Each structure stands twice: as structure tokens, then as C-alpha cells.
Structure 1
Amino acid sequence: MHAPDKAAFETTLLVRDTCLCLHAQRAARALARRFDVALKPAGITSGQFSLLMSLNRPEPPNLGSVAALLAMDRTTLTANLKPLERRRLVETTTDPTDRRTRLLRLTPAGRAVLAEAVPIWRHLHAAIETTLSDPDHLRSELNLLSGSDSQDGAG
């Protein structure tokens, strides 16, 4: 059996400088912090904005489709829904055509929070896009990496 190689400091530098996962995580955290600060007056975080926006549809989506859209497992999504349900921004109901399926719906209060948050999001999003050389290309590459070609419902 081959003994694992020791991770040399040079490897650490290589990962620091080239790792796509590390760079994507850092960028995601930095963007989330900026949106969290901006959305604070609306009383939601960037993650809650994306979740609420994913529910802003003509027909209530099921839990599984929202989890897939947001690239979350169902357990994490359920945990993220709890505070929004407690605040009565979201309600969960049983699908009348399939009792095993949970449907997620924005309440009027949830729609009001989104109405307050959207102008904040638009302003910050536009400002961030002006700092990027090709935001459409970046979006395309990120969608390629995430395996996502869906453009509906996420923030």
C-alpha cells in the first residue's frame, strides 16, 4: 500500500492561488455579506431573499423542486423555512393531489417583505455588476459549474 504524500507548503500555496472551490466559496461569502448588510432594513438575509424569491411563483412549488433550485438538501431547506414560517412569511401546506408532498407558498406578509427587498437587491446587484468585466459570462460559467440551466425563481 502506498503511503499518502505529505502536503507540502507549496501545495498549500497552489491551492490558495488556484483552487476553484476556495475562490468560489470566498466570493460567495463576500457577496452574501454585502447583500446581508443591504437587506437588513427589510429584515431578511441574502439567503432568505433567495428562498422567498424562489417561492414567488403563480403556483406554489413543492419542497423538492425548491431544494433542487437552491442546491440544498431537503433537511437544510426545511431548517431555513422554519424562521420564515414563524414570521408568517411562508406557509407550508399538503399537496391535495399527493398527500406526501409539501407545497410552499408566500403569504401576503412574505410578498410585502419581498416588495421592500427587491429595490434594495436591484440597486446593490447593479452596483456589483458594474465592477465585473463580463457579468453574463460569469453567470454562465457559474451555472455550468452548478449544473443549473434553470433561470426561474432564484435570487
Structure 2
Amino acid sequence: MSKPISVPYETTIHVRDTCLCLAVQRAARALARRFDEALRPYDLTNGQFSLLMSLNRPTPPNLSSVASLLAMDRTTLTAALKPLERRGLVRVVVDPADKRSRLMALTPDGMHLLSEVVPIWKKSHGKLEELLTDGEHDRLLKGLKKLL
């Protein structure tokens, strides 16, 4: 009879206490819940807010540039756009310079909603910054950007 394969419990504790991936996932979920709650009265999720904000540009961006900014693949971005399109917040059009490409833009309703929720985001973000002291916000943001 062979000895069962096992991983010591100490390894589990070590991973729990030192794994950057796990720590970032847990923090991301906690942050997402905070912002989802703040944006709920506007029937918007934190991901949708980020997507709308990514479209707030002088000229309409293409799918690839927004997908890159949001660190998601084009298929996921296309799926995320659908509910915003149905609500009339975003418009997706054929790029006149390249018929195979699509450009995205906020509609007037999308811009109006974004202008309503930016103060909510600022307030929520301000509360988070208060939790972090002595330059922790800037150091954390700088560290996270290194991982992209």
C-alpha cells in the first residue's frame, strides 16, 4: 500500500499568509463589494463604472485599447458592453478607418450617469484612502502597477 500524498498544513498557512495572488484576490473582492454597494442605487457595478470611465475619452477608443486598459480579453469586454448598450449608456460602431474594428463611445445618457456616479466613487475612494496611512495608498498603487 502506497503512502498517501499530502501537503503539510504549515504550507497552507504559509501560502495563506504570504501569497500575493491570494492577497490581491481577497482585497479585490473586498474592494469590489464596497464599490458595488455604493453604486447599487444607480444599477451599476464597479466593473461597469470602470468600463464607462474607460470610454470617457476625447475620441472613441477601439475594443483592443479598452480591453488592454482593463486587463481583460476582447470577448469578456464585448460581453460586459452588452448590458450597457441595452441600457443606452454605450454605443458601439464600426470604425470608419477599419471596417473590421469597433469603436465605443458613451451616449449622452451614459455621460449623464457617469457624471452622477463620479462623486459617489470619490466619496467611496476617499474612505479607502483614510484607511491607509502615511503614504500607503501611493505605495500600494505603485506596487500594483509594477505587476501589470
TM-score (norm 1): 0.89
Q: Indicate yes or no: 2:13 matched with 1:51.
A: no
CA distance in 1, matches of 2:72, 2:8: 34
Give the whole-Å Cα distance in 2 for the aligned partners of 1:127 and 1:54: 23
Alignment-derived partner of residue 111 in structure 2: 111
Q: What is the rounded CA distance, in whole Å, between the counterparts of 1:112 and 1:8 in structure 2?
A: 55
Segments of structure 2 that go 5 or more residues without pairing to the other structure are: none
Report the count of equivalent residues: 142
Q: Which protein has greater RCO, CA pairs closer than 8 Å, 6+ apart?
A: 1
Provide the rounded CA distance (Å) in 2 between the counterparts of 1:69 and 1:78.
14
1:71-115 CA distances to partner (integer Å, 9 max, x unpaired)?
001111111001001101001001001111110100001001101
Large movers: runs of 4+ above 4 Å: none
Distance 2:96 2:6 in 1: 57
Task: Give the partner amino acid of 2:121.
Answer: W
Residue equivalent to 2:25: 25
Identity of aligned residues (%): 63
Secondary structure of 2:58's partner? Answer: coil
| Deviation of 1:52 (Å) | 0.2
**Out of 120, 137, 143, which is 2:139 matched to?**
137
The match for 1:94 is: 94
Q: Distance in 1 between matches of 2:48 and 2:36?
A: 9
Q: Distance in 2 between matches of 1:42 and 1:112?
A: 12
Cα distance in 1 for residues equivalent to 2:6 and 2:51: 42
Partners of 1:114 and 1:41 lie apart in 2 by: 13
Residue 10 of structure 1: how far off its partner (Å): 1.4
The TM-score, its normalising length taken from structure 2, stands at 0.93
